[in-house]
Structure 1
Amino acid sequence: MPTSATARPTTPPTLWAARGRHVGSAAEDTVRRTLQRLKDDHVVDDFLEPPDEPAAAPASGPRTDGTPGFRIFEARWKAPGAVTVRARLILEPGSAGGQEWTLLAEAEEVWDVAWPSPATMFWPDDPDVTWDRDAATGLRLRGINTLPDDDRAVRRLLKAAGRSPWNIHVVVHEAMTPDHRGRVPLAQRLPPGLRHRVVEHRAAPQQLRVVNWALEDFGVQVPRGGAVVLPGTPAPADYAAVDFSVRTVFLDGSEPTGLLTAVTSFAALPRPLPGDAAGALDSLREDWRLLTLREELERERKLVAMYSEALEAMTRSRDLYREAAERAAEALAVYRESAGAAPAGPPPSEAPTASSLRGLTRTLDRFRASARMSRPDPAGRDATGPSTGTRAGSGTEAGTGG
């Protein structure tokens, strides 16, 4: 099974998100007519088609930069309990033709799957209008999708379904070919909030082996005559294949309680936010234009408070800078006054150096040594021996005596 991306943020519990494809024409007109009709019927409080936005969403997500073919619709309504819901639909040209749509709706409280589907606020709940195609596989969201006969086509289709991070994909194996009672789409039995987020794949009795072969990479298997909810990529952290595998699904017209429980339990898991949904969610929260008068006043108050804080910070910075400049000027004046009152020292060229002082000291030491050597002995002796005067005196005295 694909490992979950722990670094990816979790889808907020207040968010409803889905992606699909409109394969017909005039998708924008269809959305406008639906919104206007629901506003006239007081189902939708208000809606708006904002002008082209200058900033583009990340390249991995829906673009909203005014490129031809891109359109944005905003709508606001009340869920049961007077819970305000804000929703944004982004239309963009599809790679396989038609137009792809990304729909994010965020409520003031945790989303309840029993609430009306946001998809029906923008699209008509009419089976003949072809807006309900899964973006990853091209299959219907509100019907039964029989797997193709070719084994390689089955493998490609289920690989694409298993990698889809947006909608919920369910694979059901028919133990035997059902009659009309077993051809009731699962979506009709799901809560309203899940009907446009689930893709139901039906495998014929002889396709069990190829189906499980195609699902090996995702770590799940379909029981014979049962069903499995695919984990998606990345998988939720709490996903365990055994918890979302149903051993038996009776396709006899009875309500498939086990399968409904598995799908609703999977939808309640904390699921990683699709990587290309981050830009759309930021756009919903930060670029929202459909404001009530009260919301506009609150927004203006926040802007005034923000500007006031910025101005106060600039004023504090200016005062601190002025005070620092004044202190620096005072310190410079004191320094100049003290430098002018001090006596002038010798010019740098006349100032004695350490080496000249050492030379003068050595010369004086030599003079002192010479003076000591030339100084007369107090006893009439010089430094080298007896005095010559003594020797002469002695000789005179000897001659006289003779």
Structure 2
Amino acid sequence: MPTSSPARFPTPATVWPARGRHTPGDAPAVLRRSLQQHKDSGAIDDFLELPEDPAAPAERVFQARWRVGDDVTVRARMSVRTAPGDGPEQEWMLIAEAERPWDHAWPSPTSLFWPQEPDTAWDRDAAVRLSPGKINPLPEDDKDTRRLLRDAVRGGWHIHVVVHEAMTTGEHGRVPLARWLPPGLRHRVVEHRAAPQQHRGLNWALRDLGVQVPRGGAVVLPGSPAPEGYEAGEFSVRAVYLDGSEPADLVDAVRRFAALPAPLPDDAEPALTALREDWHLLTVHEELERQRGLVAMYAEALEAMTQSRDLYREAAERAHEALAAYQEAGEAPAPHREPSQAPVASPLQQLTRTLERFRPRRPATAPQDGGEAQPERAASRS
């Protein structure tokens, strides 16, 4: 068993998921006929086939709504597309959600989409091509058994149970486990049967999953990843009497396993989001509430636009006032400069003046002929 796995969102307690394959044929046509029959009989309130999505032209989507229990509304979404690979099979995915936590006593959503005729093969497990609600013998080869069970627990779409026959059973022991399960679990449990001589090889094949099957007993296999709170010993049954009576301990183990908080199955998150956010099958009351919500949303948007317009207008008026004041200030005459204010010298002129202060002065030389010096000599004589 893997020691770690990528984190996935938990499955809400209100959600019922299922996935499978439809054998060759027109699956959307089968669904249209079946849904119309269920609507005519009152099993469902209404259904709708959504227009073809240009982004996924090979996929058809159906929505249906019905009520269970004490007038609890269930909404479900079914998508059908060509299965991966070269085969002509079609893969389907069903996500149903109720207004309160799911009760397995309610009808299985698959039984309200697909017809229940035995010749309609729509309930094959998408991973291992086995059918819920029936007995599926394990392969004779141990390696094939190991590969089958390893692939079976991947994805988390079904609950897988392995039953070991302590002795070869007659017709009275060929009763599927699904007969004793509540309606909401019958199409989610895949039962594997091991022959008496396969006990040792079976437990060898189960080593990777961390579980063992008691001789003549059974075990509910963990998913991948296992649900929170899963303990192999708590979901192992020591003895299953295949005599046509109800295997009460095994039924209890399956019920307890289905109640564990499990992660959403692979690829189920987008389908659940589409169910919640892209729902078109509305009642008159729901459509009225939707239109009221749209009116309120548009009113809020209009009010916000009006407030933005008023703020923009106020800002524009202030900008015009500021521009007008700036233009008036630009047309006024420049201030008169007093004549006494000398122009400021340039930096070069200031440097030149500074250097002139430090220039050495040459001493004055006496004139060679008499002239201006004569009064000084005359003054000395006197």
Shared fold, TM over 0.5: yes
**8 Å CA contact retained: 1:132, 1:141:** yes
Deviation at 1:343, TM superposition (A): 2.9
The answer on 1:86 being equivalent to 2:75 is yes
Give the structure 2 partner of residue 2 of structure 1. Answer: 2
Aligned length: 364
CA 1:101 to 1:180, structure 2 compared with 1: closer, same or farther past 3 Å? same
Give the structure 2 partner of residue 189 of structure 1. Answer: 180
Deviation at 1:342, TM superposition (A): 6.8
TM-score normalised according to structure 1 size = 0.82
Unpaired segments ≥5 residues, structure 1: 57-64, 375-387, 397-402
Deviation at 1:358, TM superposition (A): 4.5
- Aligned equivalents of 2:211 and 2:93: distance in 1? 28
Give the structure 1 partner of residue 286 of structure 2. Answer: 295
- Aligned equivalents of 2:69 and 2:35: distance in 1? 19
Deviation at 1:175, TM superposition (A): 1.8
Aligned equivalent of 2:322, options 331, 349, 354: 331
Give the structure 2 partner of residue 245 of structure 1. Answer: 236
Give the structure 1 partner of residue 46 of structure 2. Answer: 46
- Aligned equivalents of 1:345 and 1:302: distance in 2? 70
Give the structure 2 partner of residue 97 of structure 1. Answer: 88
**8 Å CA contact retained: 2:220, 2:253:** yes
Matches within 5 A, 1:283-362: 283-341=274-332, 343=334, 352-362=345-355
**8 Å CA contact retained: 1:4, 1:235:** no
Matches within 5 A, 1:1-400: 1-3=1-3, 5=5, 7-54=7-54, 56=55, 65-67=56-58, 70-95=59-84, 96-341=87-332, 343=334, 352-363=345-356, 365-366=357-358
Q: Deviations over 1:278-313 (max 9, x none)?
A: 121122122222111111121122222222222222
Matched AA of 1:108: E
Deviation at 1:195, TM superposition (A): 0.4
- Aligned equivalents of 1:312 and 1:240: distance in 2? 58
Matched AA of 2:230: Y
**8 Å CA contact retained: 1:162, 1:218:** no
Deviation at 1:166, TM superposition (A): 0.8
Q: Deviations over 1:324-382 (max 9, x none)?
A: 23323322333343344473699xxx86444533443454x459x969x99xxxxxxxx
- Aligned equivalents of 1:303 and 1:145: distance in 2? 52
CA 1:94 to 1:294, structure 2 compared with 1: closer, same or farther past 3 Å? same
CA 1:289 to 1:321, structure 2 compared with 1: closer, same or farther past 3 Å? same
Deviation at 1:270, TM superposition (A): 1.4
Consecutive aligned runs of 4 or more in structure 1 exceeding 6 Å deviation: none
| Percentage identity across paired residues of the two chains | 59
Moved more, 350-359 or 309-318: 350-359
- Aligned equivalents of 1:352 and 1:239: distance in 2? 95
- Aligned equivalents of 2:201 and 2:313: distance in 1? 80
TM-score normalised according to structure 2 size = 0.86
**8 Å CA contact retained: 1:167, 1:198:** yes
RMSD: 2.8
SS at match of 2:73: strand
SS at match of 2:281: coil
Q: Deviations over 1:44-74 (max 9, x none)?
A: 11112222134x5xxxxxxxx222xx32222
Q: Deviations over 1:11-65 (max 9, x none)?
A: 11111110011225233333222222221121111112222134x5xxxxxxxx2
Higher radius of gyration, 1 or 2: 1
**8 Å CA contact retained: 2:110, 2:187:** yes
